[in-house]
A and B are shown apart, each in its own frame.
Chain A
Amino acid sequence: MSDIRTVDDINKKIKSGDVVVVTASEMKDIVAEKGPEKAAKEVDVVTTGTFGMTTSSGVFINFGHSDPQIKMGGGEVLLNDVPAYAGLGSVDAYLGTAQCSKVHKMDYGGGHVIEDFVNEKSVNLKAYGCATYCHPTREIVTTVTLQDLNQAIMVNPRAFYQRYSAATNSSDGLIYTYLGALLPNFGNVTYSSAGAISPLYNDPTYETIGIGTRIFLGGSIGYVIGEGTQHNPKMMSGSLMVKGDLKKMKPRYLRGASITNYGTALFIGGGVPIPILNAGVAKNCGITDDGIKANVYDYHIATRMKPVVKKTTYQELKSGKVVIGDREVKCSGLSSIHMAMEICKKLKEMIQNGEFFLTVPVERISMETMMKPMKQLYIRAVDVMSPALTCNSEDSLKNAEKLMLEKKIDYIVAVDKHKHLQGVLTSWDVARSIVSGGSKVKDVMKSKNIVTSRKDEPVEVSSKKLEQYKVRGLPVVDDDGKVLGVVRIEDVRYKVK
């Protein structure tokens, strides 16, 4: 599509004061009403914003040299008892937001230290280094404020993350996840994105956002410095790596956060201006919440691949109610939509007032990057299981009991002739049959709600199931439901490190 204006044209208009800037939510209406061609002619810039909780962010700090000098590099650096990474130069450190305090644990972390810095509070610095000839000081205990630091450069390896999945909980207990507390029995749904006003949804092809793009970060100006970690643009879950100057940031847009029983993080506000270079860019900015799909996953399952409970859209998520099965479940986010809208407006004002100029990216962001799972050596359920002692549900109970006694195993799996699971019979069921009667295995065996283990499931998950459901064993089944063996408590106990 041919460009109708360049970034330079827009910057000239910003200088002269007749630039047309609209927020992302205003742009949706314009595109819906007038179509992308007309919208592109009318609008110069669209401002997008997000205010989400990030764990992949932090600040590079240079403390300045002490006298005599200290070599913190390779030593230890603690800021308000939160450890910072010190494997750098002699007085450099990187403070990550997810790092918890050594004293307050999950209630205070790197994110809170950053918040304290921006609020101009003094922060306790404890540093330990190994003494060398030119750096003889071993230990420093002092307080520092943001003004005392030479540099405090925020570098966020994963910012503006396009999509976190939505979460719910099928179990009958409360669970705590990175998406907040999840109430039992599908009690609530949580998600974390501003949806259609968040930056990367408005430029999914990275036509205008690239390396060098000037952005709004934490109340001040920042820059995109490349693709972010876990960047996966093809699956609509891209991310950007960004940097900004912490010294210029505003407390309103930076908040330390602690997620109960999960850890600490940082709420950070960011916004990206999108220059409307042509009708294609305008069309992309017209995306609405009902066009953004999201899956609700069951976070009770602690494996990487979680079962999808429901396929939904951001329109339903943002409405506050999600229908799961036949009932409405309350739904809310961890990413502030209120603040995201405020950032869109703030950035719009900055551009209108001539305080913010747009940039042409130096290089484009890759559209090819894929996200792979970790290469890992783990013990699977099939690796530890013992062969299953099997019978048929039509067999007589006497035979099954005999089998148990002969093999000295109190857990029998009933299967049909294709080896498909029918039920399980334990010595307890046999004991019960004395009272309840029954001559066949099927009369006494447990045949409903049997807890099983998938064949490639990590053994940690199997052992968690054994503990949680208080069962003696788990039949290991493959994808077709064929029984391959049994994971019993004994197998887990002796074979797992």
Chain B
Amino acid sequence: MGKRVLILFPNKEYRDSIIPETVLKSGTVFNTLKVESTPTNVKIMGEIKADEEKAQEFMRILKRRGGIVKELGVIMRFDPEKCVACGLCVSLCPTTAILFNKDFSVRYDFDECILCMNCVNNCPVNAVSHLGD
């Protein structure tokens, strides 16, 4: 699994080339999951796919260029007690993060999650939630 990070840049520091340049310099793979741009800053959520050393280098470069980098822990929560295993989320998931077990109960694997929020928005019993950035 990669390392989930949230990168914050003030608008005046941000250039479109920052991420590609950092990727080249540190030799990592960076998977952008979500970009949000506000009048004051740019927020990028993504996943670094590399070993620990390279990931740290990636984050160091970004910090040097004026960004704030925050490592994200588990940002989604699935409550198996609440889940009734209807399975609606299974077909809405664009990746293989949500699958049926053999006994038709539902299994979540947040390593595969790309935070599309389909499951959170559609769960009839609110068994899955996003804990925020």
Interface set of B (CB-CB < 8 Å, partner A): 84-93, 100, 103-106, 118, 121-122, 124-125
Is A339 a contact of B85 with CB atoms below 8 Å? yes
Is A255 a contact of B84 with CB atoms below 8 Å? yes
Known: A181-B118, A260-B121. A338 touches B90 (CB 8 A): no
Q: Which residues of A contact B91 (CB under 8 A)?
A: 188-190, 320, 330-332
Determine the distance from Cα of A341 to Cα of B84 in the docked complex, in whole angstroms.
12
Is B124 a contact of A258 with CB atoms below 8 Å? yes
22 intermolecular pairs with C-beta atoms under 8 Å apart: A53-B124, A180-B92, A180-B122, A190-B88, A255-B84, A256-B125, A257-B124, A259-B124, A260-B122, A267-B84, A267-B86, A330-B93, A331-B91, A332-B90, A333-B87, A334-B88, A334-B124, A337-B85, A337-B87, A338-B103, A338-B106, A339-B85
A-B contact count (CB 8 A): 72
Interface set of A (CB-CB < 8 Å, partner B): 51, 53, 180-181, 183, 188-190, 255-260, 265, 267, 320, 330-339, 341
The one of B88, B90, B104, B125 that contacts A255, using a Cβ cutoff of 8 Å: B125
The one of A183, A256, A260, A320 that contacts B90, using a Cβ cutoff of 8 Å: A320
Q: Separation in Å of the A107 CB from the closest CB of chain B?
A: 9
Q: Separation in Å of the A167 CB from the closest CB of chain B?
A: 11
Q: Which residues of B contact A336 (CB under 8 A)?
A: 84-87, 104
Determine the distance from Cα of A100 to Cα of B126 in the docked complex, in whole angstroms.
17
Determine the distance from Cα of A320 to Cα of B90 in the docked complex, in whole angstroms.
9
Determine the distance from Cα of A189 to Cα of B86 in the docked complex, in whole angstroms.
14
Is B104 a contact of A338 with CB atoms below 8 Å? yes
Is A338 a contact of B121 with CB atoms below 8 Å? no
Q: Separation in Å of the A219 CB from the closest CB of chain B?
A: 13
The one of A180, A265, A338 that contacts B88, using a Cβ cutoff of 8 Å: A180
Is A341 a contact of B86 with CB atoms below 8 Å? no
Determine the distance from Cα of A183 to Cα of B92 in the docked complex, in whole angstroms.
7
Please indicate which of the listed interface residues A53, A331, A335, A338 has the most CB atoms of chain B within 10 Å of its own CB.
A338
Determine the distance from Cα of A335 to Cα of B121 in the docked complex, in whole angstroms.
18
